[in-house]
Structure 1
Amino acid sequence: MSTTATQSHSAKTERHDSHPYAGMWVTADGYIRHELLSNGRYDEARGKRQSAYQGRYRVTGNHIDYVDDTGFTADGEFRDGVLHHAGMVLYREDKRD
């Protein structure tokens, strides 16, 4: 890989890693959990079923588009620190040490 390509790749990775919406988003009851990974992938758990859905996502402004690994698409919107997605409301998980 050329130096230019390496620098370009690093810059893209750095920008994506610091995306403000990356992290865990959960419904108030904790049943649905979306982990938005810094590499543009997501992992959704439902109840006790880990990795119920996986795929990729793309955020444009406050809008998020999902494409799961089977090709199913969905979208959502971040409003006032809350993720509204497919009739669900998800809140950023507060990670405490």
Structure 2
Amino acid sequence: MIRRLLLLLVAMGALNACDRPATPHPYVGMWVTADGRIRQELLPDGRYEEARDGRERAYTGGYTVTGDHIDYVDDTGFTADGTFVSPDVLHHGGMVMHRER
């Protein structure tokens, strides 16, 4: 319950940058499906922006990373999660995403 509340506060922007770690986690950056249809950028401030089928910022929200697990709360309150199976591979919502270098 507390974790969901914190995720929601992050997504709503209620927690500011000084409430987040100064050093970003190693998964910050762009993640892309093999066909390029879905592009998700994990920003260092705990926010993400996801483009789908060429529609920029189709989804935006907050995220938290704990170890190799990621929890998302989009700006509408929808939640999702994923697992980093390696430094360059993310499994999220039935998708396999690869880090874009």
* Separation in 2, partners of 1:70, 1:50: 17
CA separation of 1:13 and 1:61: change in aligned 2, threshold 3 A: closer
Counterpart CA distance in 2 for 1:13 and 1:77 is 20
Task: Give 2:63's aligned amino acid.
Answer: Y
Question: 1:84 corresponds to which letter in structure 2?
Answer: H
- Report 1:31-70 matches (<5 A): 31-70=37-76
Q: Which runs of 5+ in 1 are unaligned?
A: 1-8
TM-score (norm 2): 0.77
Q: SS of the residue aligned with 2:31?
A: strand
Q: Which runs of 5+ in 2 are unaligned?
A: 1-17
CA RMSD, Structure 1 to Structure 2 (Å): 1.4
Q: Identify the residue that residue 23 of structure 2 maps to in structure 1.
A: 15
Question: What is the aligned-residue identity percentage?
Answer: 65
Q: Which has the higher contact order (CA 8 A, sep 6+)?
A: 2
Matched residue count? 83
Is it true that 1:93 corresponds to 2:100 in the alignment?
yes
**Amino acid of the residue matched to residue 53 of structure 2?**
G
1:13 Cα deviation from its structure 2 partner: 4.3
What's the CA shift for 1:22? Answer: 0.2
Secondary structure, aligned partner of 2:45 = coil
Per-residue deviation, 1:14: 2.3
Deviation at 1:47, TM superposition (A): 1.2
For 1:72, the equivalent position in structure 2 comes to: 78
